[in-house]
Homo-oligomer: A and B are copies of this chain.
Amino acid sequence: MALIVHKYGGTSMGSTERIRNVAKRVAKWARAGHQMVVVPSAMSGETNRLLGLAKELAPGKTADDYNRELDMLAATGEQASSALLAIALQAEGMQAVSYAGWQVQVKTDSAFTKARIESIDDARVRADLEAGKVVVITGFQGVDEAGNITTLGRGGSDTSAVAIAAAMKAHECLIYTDVDGVYTTDPRVEPDARRLTTVSFEEMLEMASLGSKVLQIRSVEFAGKYRVPLRVLSSFTPWDIDLKEEAKSGTLITFEEDENMEQAVVSGIAFNRDEAKISVLGVPDKPGIAYHILGAVADANVEVDVIIQNLSKDGRTDFSFTVHRNDYAKTIDLLKEKVLPTLGAADIVGDTKICKVSIVGIGMRSHVGVASKMFRVLSEEGINIQMISTSEIKTSVVIDEKYMELAVRALHKAFDLDQPAA
């Protein structure tokens, strides 16, 4: 008997039949004596449908021009699915109530379409739980200081669920999704990929930031910050499977390193095709240029990932970085307009046909030569490395997009990820 948070993704909420299954599953947990808080995403396709309507109405505009209204619009998807889930729970004989983010309240900053949660007031939810109700809270959205509706960006429902679990000091936060856990890499790319029964928080954080779509990175950050036990599991198991079995399924994100356990050197291969490379060529090599370039980019609210500054030659250097592909055109324009004239750089060039492939493993801390093994494997496959970025537990390379699957499969095999864990 504990306070449990369930989160269900859009696919799990994709039809009334599936919503009914979610309700039956939640009711099973509640009847076993648990206090249940449920965070659903919008029904699959709904957010795209709504944003598609907006795009039809404002084809020439960039999103920034009407972000506040996009959040008003997109937030309706989760409100509808939350109300539907509450109704389904009531039809199952449970007491249930649904709340939008502003009702709880889930307070965020005012960065429309990518807001960050600042605080959650749990009083109302706690009172309902004490009264025996299942509480359904909209994922993905909150309210800013001025009372505007905000959304947290794609996958934001994960973050909502973890933040609510943190605020409520939940025993565990279960993320029900359309995959049955965290894999060594995407099984659609490497059929021999294996499910991990546990993964360390740090590895999960790297995997999420590197493009694994299983969990939104901010949800993992939140889980880490507040040490929320987090489990990723499948919503497509029959709702009536044994609760004890269900509670052990999927992948648990752990915070304690088990010292007795032999850590795999590399736990997983992550990759993403969402980024684009931008290079500012012939930049005068003097103090402050990184700030000059990236400051302007940051001011436009564009996130930069890999950053590389080449060796200087004749007092000039090339400066490269990657941004999300959605921000590519905007960033190029911005640099040409604001940075090129004042910086005295020669030119700005870009490439959207790149991908980033990363190896992640907490074991890399204590093993040397992991990165060089990665470079050797890629070299043997004839894959040219364009950029490299490393951290304590991961090494990432930017390569030509067309080599992505080849790189992932070769690395998966080279690091024995297709073999059962020791």
Q: Taking beta carbons and an 8 Å cutoff, which residues of A are in contact with B? A: 16, 19-20, 23, 50, 53-54, 56-61, 65-66, 68-70, 72-73, 75-77, 79-80, 82-84, 86-88, 90-91, 96-98, 100, 102-103, 147-149
Contact = CB atoms under 8 A, between A and B. Distances in A.
Contacts of A57: 16, 19-20, 23, 84, 87-88, 91
Nearest to A105: B147
Contact of A80 (B50, B86, B100): B50
20 contacts: A16-B56, A20-B57, A53-B80, A57-B91, A58-B88, A59-B91, A61-B91, A65-B90, A66-B86, A66-B87, A69-B83, A72-B79, A72-B86, A73-B79, A75-B79, A76-B76, A76-B77, A76-B79, A76-B80, A79-B79
A90 B72 contact: no
B73 A103 contact: no
Given A60-B91, A61-B91, A66-B87, A72 B100 contact: yes
Copy count, this protein chain: 2
A90 B60 CA distance: 11
A83 B70 contact: yes
Contacts of A54: 83-84, 87
A104 to B, nearest CB: 10
Q: List 7 A-B pairs, minimum CB-CB distance, nearest first.
A: A73-B83, A72-B83, A76-B76, A58-B91, A16-B56, A57-B88, A69-B86
A60 B90 CA distance: 11
A65 B82 CA distance: 16
A103 B58 contact: no
Contacts of A77: 76
A58 B83 CA distance: 12
A53 B16 contact: yes
Nearest to A71: B83
A69 B102 CA distance: 16
Contacts of A79: 72-73, 75-76, 79
Contacts of A56: 16
